[in-house]
Structure 1
Amino acid sequence: MKRCRIVVLMLLSNFILTGSVFAAEIWVSPKGSDKNSGTQQQPLATVAMALRKARELRRLNDEPIKGGIYIKVLAGVYQLAEPLFVRPEDSGTADSPTIIEGEGIGKTVLSGGVTVTGWRKVNTVIPGLPAEAKGKVWEVDAPMIGDEPLQFRQLWVNNVKAIRARDTDAPVMNRILSWDHKTETCIIPSAASLDASHISGMEMFIHQWWAIAILRVKAVKVMGDSARLSFYQPESRIQSEHPWPAPWISKKTGNSAFYLSNAIGFLNHPGEWYHDRVANKIYYIPRKGEDLQTAIVAVPELETLVKMEGTLDRPVNYFGFKNISFEHSSWLRPSKEGLVPHQAGMYMLDAYKLKVPGTPDKKGLENQAWVGRPKAAVEVAYASHIAFDGCGFEHMASTGLDFKRGMHNDVVKGCLFKDIGGTAVLDGIYSDEAQEVHLPYNPTDKREICTNDTIANNLIIDATNEDWGCVGIGAGYVKGISITHNEVCDVNYTGISMGWGWTKTINAMSDNRIMANKIHHYARNMYDVAGIYTLSAQPGSVISNNYVDSIYKAPYAHDPQHWFYLYTDEGSSYITLKNNWCPADKFLKNANGPGNVWENNGPQVDVVIKNAAGLEVPYRYLFQYRSINRDNRPINHKTE
């Protein structure tokens, strides 16, 4: 009898500690302490400590972990001081996964931001402030990290992004007058707000074909009704040397549009802010209804909130996040080195036109480029069976979620991607920094290739809102990817882009699927675009049963007619496109390779296929986060 009582007490103790005799549970609460045991009654304070405890359970192979380890994170905002790093030692198994589980989108939040408090009305003279802004500006001491001022490019008031002070009110932009490639300078119309004595930190945002560039202004020379801008290196050289996309000069459709930002002389409208890095003060003009004494104001500190990385021989396996929100990420490259993207957000490290054409893959190619990859709020590499289920990705400066390389059999489903500065979801290698972008990628070790990943039933809205040339979902050199039943809307360029390399040479890509997605209200600002866009040879790949509609009339497009619903671009080969609904037969097949099949695409596609595209019924709870074309921008309804 005594022995039976001991066994019962041991089982009961195990149940209290783990919540189940079949799985271990570790609890985290905003009211917890990392000195606690991690039970529901004595929760920890941080997910990092919970992950460490889970790692120890794995190391010791404790009996409770046979059914998995569940890190239960209660509702609240958890501000991260450093990225949460998931390592191979944190791996689970098929029967015993490790899951970090919260209470839902917007409820359990891992934040890379810093809260800014102590706002006060400005009652002193601010040199350079426009006269119309006097009496309307509030200020606060900007955050310090250690003994260094925090550098940041975004500010959110009650989770609504504020506008970095700019010379024109969005969406209005001016047009450049000319670009001098030899002197690496630009001539623009002069304006009263362009004060050459207050240009510290000023940037130029320029629209060019299918990409933008962000250039740090080094000097301004006012010349009557015009001004000459020069820029810092390295972006000055790259911007003036690279041939595609270059600044657009056209009497017919207008020169490249631009705006200037981040100068005190531009701070004159509600919702605008400016960070004086010398005085380390933030200035802001509140919007109607905002009370800065009660508002929650946040700026981002971390570029990456979660980093999950293994190696080829020791990947991270069977790990997941469920019902967790990731919020407030930073990206500082534009502030430190400028930003000159090539395409889909991949930024140029070097690029120039060849005097003698020809590369190993293309005898007639006239340009070369090497690119870098933007930072992401959540970065994953060398991992398999990784899951993001019902998670939120919001208020991010660059990419939301990035499956960088060496990923296999992973799933992203039922997630919200909203207010994303760059691409919402990236998957697969594009070009390594050491590989020229036009060379086909096909590694000897096939484990490098992202294979059999699934991106399904996610809502992507208001992505690409800082780098307009990014995309909703971007897939590089991937194999067996399944992109299905997603809804992508309110993006500035392409909805779903798959492929890289501009080559019909057989490469790492094959057997990909883009099916039953709903893409609408896209190309808000950039053309040479489509709802679905492909590059390069992809044997066995299928694009079918998708819905593509409602492309914006981009106000500053280099060519107002150069937009499409489906677009197979250079080198696209061995791809089948069938049963895709769109309101007109407006497609482009540009310099395609062999083996493409086009079958039954356009307005005649069965209404059953049209209506089945997008989120499936169990995931339509995401509709509550959908707000489309709030400022009623015009739509292209025909092929005019």
Structure 2
Amino acid sequence: MKKKSRLKIPFLAVFILLANLSLAQEIIEIHVSPTGSDSNPGTVDKPIKTLHKVTAILGNMDSAELPKIVVWLNDGIYRISKPIVIDSTVKKSGIPLKFKAVEGSRPTISGAVELKHWTNLGDGIWVAEVPKNLGIFREFFVKGKRAVRARHPNNEYLRVKEVGADRRTNFTYHTGGFPQPKNAGEVELVVLHDWSITRIPIKNIDKNINSIIAADSIGAKGLDFFNLDQWEPNPRYFLENDIEFLDMENEWYLDSSASKIYLKLPLNLNPSQLSIEVPLAESLMLLEGSEESPISNVSFEGISFQYCRWNIPNQTYAGIQACNFDTQKGNKEWAVVPAAIRTTWGTNIRFENCEFSSLGGSGIWLGTGSRNCTIKNCRLQDISGNGVMIGEGQDRLVSGEPWWKDAPQQAALGNTVEDCDISNCGVQFYGAVGIWCGLTAETMLKNNKVYNLPYTGISIGWMWSPEVTPCRDNTIENNHIHHVMQTLSDGGGIYMLGLQPGSKLIGNHIHDISVNAGRAESNGMFLDEGTKDVLVENNLIYNIAKSPLRFHRASTNIVKDNYLFSNGKTPGIAYNNTPLENIHQEGNKEISTDQLDYKVLLKEAMSKYVRP
């Protein structure tokens, strides 16, 4: 009797046509290039053109008995208008699937389209028609760099003169504070709170009484401490998106009612000489499994992810913290700024030597049910929201109860961010953080560089009390965090809260956190409400305007063998509503800059802690 083939015929046909099988290495290889064709067989000399075609091919494979699959990406830009989705219809088993850059190349997955056909209006200002498929957008890039949406003032802030009676919807401004907008209905009001911001359309500007009225409540509705004058009597604000604010090079203004975009360039430049791009895709990569059948063993190596849009729902962003925001629909209905790349119920998903940049929402999110996933040696920069997100907050329901009560086993578990370079996040949503972790367990954040951020560097935990949650055994180790808290207040290089038994903050190097304009102070490390059972050991913290380490309503924790350099009379450790006996101290060196040997001690500490 003739022996039957172990490969089903539909897959065999696809396999012969589209893949190279190396029996010695047991690898199926598919080659892709922006100069290829989707009718090609996917060989080295005849590559496929699009990644959407690749996922279609993978979906037609019967992969139950296949070896590893490698998708090789050649150099160039892979433009997409919708995300690449890897789910159970694409990846049907746990065999390894790798998307890898060809050696010496840097392929880019881009969610942008080029904008062309500009008309010169003089004085460096150009105008173009906005294609219908672009609609309204918030990001705009010239020569790969984010252009500034026209704002007033250009760099600093205005100050509220007097808050309105309801403390939420209106305020008066100082005479001559800003040029009167040509189209007030297109203007966005941006108000800074201590640790978050609100972006909201203007309903009306009354020039007779110098009053600005917002389209809705400024600040999250269900939280009274977002009243306009809660933190500062005269909070900071600025205005964005009007032709009257278009006064600096590389600023732009979108007139959505007329479907026109205006751009101001140096007088010697012509848009036809430049690459001008607008994000179109709302996400770039989605890996979507289920609790019963997680997506597993998918990796990405040497790939750049660039340009992704996110438009604020209902045009109002009432930030709460770390890119959670109030939808303004009810007393407490929160949402989260989405990420360009997201895993849901993913196991052993890996991103290595990748870059994430020029993104309109957040960067990459290891979401619900993500386990043993790794982000290693990656660079994240120029991101509107958070850089990296791990796990989730409190709000998702299971059987009518918060997930962390009814199904704590669903927590993100054992995920790692290591050797990454994370900077310039929170470009639009200033309350963003470099790395945000919710109610996660066994998370490892190690050897990362986190810097140049408007708010906190690393934030972990999402329960403002010592109530039991799945949050435990998280480690933040040997990270270099500096020049954060540059715009907002009440955060730090590391911000932590809630019961996290077995968690550790060890060997971190944190410096250069200056005073900002908010009411609350910012610190090297801020361990907020409910922080309990945490070890803070062997950290170096200096050049902090306030206390290097602060506790607020914290429970029992251990602080051991840290170098804490403080300024003048500022204490090395601040205790806000935290009994001193809650914090067990051992071997710490609290050093004031007033000490004569301060510089010697700092040099000694840096030689011990600063790593190559």
Match of 1:267 in 2: 246
How big is each residue's C-alpha offset from its partner over 1:272-320, in whole Å with a ceiling of 9 and x where there is no partner? 1011112211111014764411110011112211111111101101011
Question: Closer, same or farther in 2 for the Cα pair 1:411/1:610, shift >3 Å?
Answer: farther
Match of 2:38 in 1: 34
- Corresponding residue SS for 2:563: coil
Does 1:218 find its partner at 2:207?
no
Say if 2:395 and 2:403, in contact at 8 Å, map to a contact too. Answer: no
How big is each residue's C-alpha offset from its partner over 1:223-265, in whole Å with a ceiling of 9 and x where there is no partner? 25xx2222224xx275566323432467xx7621110011122
Task: Give the root-mean-square deviation of aligned CA atoms.
Answer: 2.7
How big is each residue's C-alpha offset from its partner over 1:200-244, in whole Å with a ceiling of 9 and x where there is no partner? 2111111111111101111111125xx2222224xx275566323
* TM-score for both structures, normalised by structure 1: 0.81
Does 1:174 find its partner at 2:174?
no
Q: Distance in 1 between matches of 2:43 and 2:451?
A: 42
Q: Distance in 2 between matches of 1:101 and 1:16?
A: 15
Question: Closer, same or farther in 2 for the Cα pair 1:187/1:104, shift >3 Å?
Answer: farther
| Number of equivalenced pairs | 555
Question: Closer, same or farther in 2 for the Cα pair 1:39/1:343, shift >3 Å?
Answer: same
1 or 2 for the larger relative contact order (CA 8 Å, sep ≥6)? 1
Residue 444 of structure 1 deviates from its aligned partner by 3.4
Q: Which runs of 5+ in 1 are unaligned?
A: 1-12, 123-133, 353-367, 618-640
Question: Closer, same or farther in 2 for the Cα pair 1:553/1:119, shift >3 Å?
Answer: farther
How big is each residue's C-alpha offset from its partner over 1:108-156, in whole Å with a ceiling of 9 and x where there is no partner? 111111111122212xxxxxxxxxxx632111121221xxx52210111
Q: Distance in 1 between matches of 2:175 and 2:23?
A: 70
Question: Closer, same or farther in 2 for the Cα pair 1:20/1:232, shift >3 Å?
Answer: farther
Please show how residues 118-517 of structure 1 align to structure 2 within 5 Å. 118-122=117-121, 135-145=123-133, 149-170=134-155, 172-180=156-164, 182=166, 184-191=169-176, 193-195=178-180, 198-223=183-208, 227-233=210-216, 236=217, 239=220, 242-248=223-229, 255-287=234-266, 290-333=269-312, 336-349=314-327, 369-432=332-395, 442-517=404-479
- Corresponding residue SS for 1:88: coil
Code of the residue aligned with 1:281 in structure 2: it is: K
Code of the residue aligned with 1:222 in structure 2: it is: K
Question: Closer, same or farther in 2 for the Cα pair 1:272/1:72, shift >3 Å?
Answer: same
Match of 1:529 in 2: 491
Q: Distance in 1 between matches of 2:17 and 2:608?
A: 47
Code of the residue aligned with 2:481 in structure 1: it is: I
Residue 558 of structure 1 deviates from its aligned partner by 2.9
Does 1:598 find its partner at 2:559?
yes
Question: Closer, same or farther in 2 for the Cα pair 1:602/1:244, shift >3 Å?
Answer: farther
Match of 1:630 in 2: none
Match of 1:54 in 2: 58
Say if 2:504 and 2:535, in contact at 8 Å, map to a contact too. Answer: yes
Match of 2:100 in 1: 101
Q: Distance in 1 between matches of 2:404 and 2:397?
A: 14
Question: Closer, same or farther in 2 for the Cα pair 1:39/1:499, shift >3 Å?
Answer: same
Q: Which runs of 5+ in 2 are unaligned?
A: 1-15, 565-588, 590-600
Equivalent of residue 567 in structure 1, options 523, 526, 548:
526
Q: Distance in 1 between matches of 2:310 and 2:174?
A: 30
Say if 1:256 and 1:558, in contact at 8 Å, map to a contact too. Answer: no
* TM-score for both structures, normalised by structure 2: 0.85
How big is each residue's C-alpha offset from its partner over 1:304-357, in whole Å with a ceiling of 9 and x where there is no partner? 1111111110110101111111111111016x33001111110013599xxxxx
Match of 1:128 in 2: none
Residue 19 of structure 1 deviates from its aligned partner by 5.2
Residue 60 of structure 1 deviates from its aligned partner by 4.9
- Corresponding residue SS for 2:406: coil
- Shifted more, 81-90 versus 502-511: the winner is 81-90
Q: Distance in 1 between matches of 2:539 and 2:204?
A: 50
Say if 1:92 and 1:98, in contact at 8 Å, map to a contact too. Answer: no
Q: Distance in 2 between matches of 1:309 and 1:51?
A: 13
Code of the residue aligned with 2:183 in structure 1: it is: H
Say if 2:169 and 2:215, in contact at 8 Å, map to a contact too. Answer: no
Task: Tell me the percent identity.
Answer: 23
Say if 2:63 and 2:93, in contact at 8 Å, map to a contact too. Answer: no
